[in-house]
Amino acid sequence: MAKIKFKLNDKFVELDTDPNRRLLDVLRDDFNLTGPKEGCGEGECGACAVLMDQKIINSCCTPLANVIDKEIITIEGFSKTKKFEVIKDAYAKTGGVQCGFCTPGMIIATESLLNKNPHPTDFEIKIGLSGNLCRCTGYNLIIEAVKEAAKAGDGLW
Partner 1 sequence: MVEAYLPKDLDECLKILNEKKVKIIAGGTDMLIQNRSHTGMSIGYRNDVLYINNLNELKNIYEDDAFVYIGAALSLEKIMESDIAPKLLKETILEMASPAIRHTATLAGNIGNASPAGDSLVSLYLMDAELEIRSINNTRRVFLKDFIKGVRKITLESDELITKVIIPKLMFEKAYFKKVGPRLSDAISKLSFAGAYQIYNNKITDIRIAFGAVNVTVVRDRLLEKKMIGKTIEELKGMIDLLTSWYDPLIVPIDDQRSNKVYRKEVAINLLREFIENLI
Ligand X SMILES: Cc1cc2nc3c(=O)[nH]c(=O)nc-3n(C[C@H](O)[C@H](O)[C@H](O)COP(=O)(O)OP(=O)(O)OC[C@H]3O[C@@H](n4cnc5c(N)ncnc54)[C@H](O)[C@@H]3O)c2cc1C
Amino acid identity, position 16: D
Q: What residue ranges in the chain does DSSP mark as E strands?
A: 2-8, 11-17, 49-52, 55-58, 71-73
Between residue 98 and residue 127, which ones bind ligand X under the rule CB under 6 A?
A: none
Judged by beta carbon, residue 25 or residue 89, the one nearer partner 1 is: 25
62 contact, one of partner 1, ligand FES, ligand X, none, CB 5-8 Å limit per kind:
partner 1
Spatial separation of the C-alpha atoms in residues 19 and 82, rounded to whole Å: 33
Between residue 31 and residue 70, which ones bind ligand X under the rule CB under 6 A?
A: 42-44, 61
β partners of residue 71: 7
Strands 71-73 vs 2-8: parallel, antiparallel or unpaired: parallel
Judged by beta carbon, residue 105 or residue 153, the one nearer ligand FES is: 105
Spatial separation of the C-alpha atoms in residues 9 and 80, rounded to whole Å: 10
Judged by beta carbon, residue 9 or residue 132, the one nearer ligand X is: 132
* Residues of the shown chain interacting with partner 1 in the complex, contacts defined by CB under 8 A: 2, 18-22, 25, 41-44, 46, 49, 52, 55-58, 60-63, 65-66, 68-69, 109, 112-113, 126-128, 130-132
* Residues of the shown chain interacting with ligand FES in the complex, contacts defined by CB under 6 A: 38-41, 43-48, 58, 60, 97-102, 134-137
Amino acid identity, position 90: A
